[in-house]
Amino acid sequence: MADPTLQPTRILDYDSPELQQIVQTLSAGAPPPREYIQKAHLHLSDVMHPIYSVADQQPASETVRLNGGSCSQRMACLEALARGYGIRTRVRALWLAKEFWKERLPLLEPILPKTLMPRPQFWLEETWVDFDEIFDSMVYLCEGVTHAFTNAGASLFDAVRNQPVDLLGKSSGYSLAQFVVTDAGFFDTRDELMNKLDDGTWMGS
């Protein structure tokens, strides 16, 4: 039986020409899986415009064609590129309080409901690695920083390069776990998560 954490899906459509071209470019030199994921993240962060969007069921290939995406859409692209290289992925469904968006969307925050954040994990070095630790461990990322992620500067997607974005309470001084209203658990694919949990609520960028 095919492994659902590796297969292409409607959202993670890495078998599309758009994604296959990027996979081929990033695969040059056959980098180890973690290095490949880092290269893929840097590529998406550097070439893709961050935008606000509610279309979290949009296929990754469409996000690539548009050359712009929300944090969630760019995470989906990263998942698709990972699967295209043979790296397993899954996603954790975190419902976030509206206050999480206060700094980034100050005018909308008062009217926003709680939001669904599909948070990916990647199978690297024989363990599941959270999106916020693809560049380094949370312990290392916390060294040298003076405050927790505020959502005021770099986007959540971009910030994981060099600062803790700790929604899971893994750090003592930089945890954002207070913004997590509900942890709805793991799903093998974004498609499954969206089909089961998306009730039309606005989903964050």
Average pLDDT over residues 166-185: 91
The pLDDT tens digits for 128-168 are 999 999 999 999 999 978 877 887 778 889 999 989 999 99
pLDDT at 114: 72
Average pLDDT, the chain: 88
Contact 14, 83 (CB under 8 A): yes
- Is pLDDT above 50 for 201? no
pLDDT at 99: 81
With both helix axes pointing from N to C terminus, report the angle between 71-84 and 17-26 in degrees, rounded to the nearest 10: 70
Average pLDDT over residues 170-192: 92
Q: Tokens 């599309």: give the residue.
A: 16
Average pLDDT over residues 35-44: 98
pLDDT band at 103 (very low <50, low <70, confident <90, very high): low
Average pLDDT over residues 58-67: 95
- Is pLDDT above 80 for 102? no
Q: What is the CA radius of gyration of the chain?
A: 16
Q: Which residues are within 8 A (CB) of 171 and not within 5 positions of it... i.e. 6 or more apart?
A: 138, 139, 142, 164
- Is pLDDT above 50 for 200? no
CATH topology of domain 17-197: C8orf32 fold (3.10.620)
Identify the weakest region by mean pLDDT among 74-83, 109-118, 131-140, 179-188: 109-118
